[in-house]
Amino acid sequence: MKQKQTRKAEEIARDIVDLTESLDSQQELKKTWRVLDQAMRYLSDKDNYLTSKVRTEKLIAEMEYAS
């Protein structure tokens, strides 16, 4: 499954490059940037959430082990 996700990420990156090349005006560029920036923030927030979850679960396990 990880390989499939990597392939998708590479496709998305190519699509972004193609999209960027197709934009003709500053207005189109700014609008596109806002949308993509928000999507990347969502991706980053989810990564932060999952990282925090793993750290919290590890801390709980350590605390239970120490008891």
In a domain, 46, yes or no: yes
Question: What percent of the chain has pLDDT above 90?
Answer: 88
In a domain, 13, yes or no: no
Q: What is the pTM of this model?
A: 0.73
C-alpha 13: how far from chain center: 12
In a domain, 12, yes or no: no
In a domain, 4, yes or no: no
In a domain, 18, yes or no: no
In a domain, 33, yes or no: yes
Q: How many domains is the chain built from?
A: 1
CA distance 30 to 32: 5
Q: Answer yes or no: are the C-beta atoms of 16 and 36 closer than 8 Å.
A: yes
Give 39-64 pLDDT, tens digit per residue: 999 999 999 999 999 999 999 999 99
In a domain, 45, yes or no: yes
Domain that holds residue 47: 25-67
Q: In this predicted structure, what is the pLDDT of residue 1? A: 54
In a domain, 32, yes or no: yes
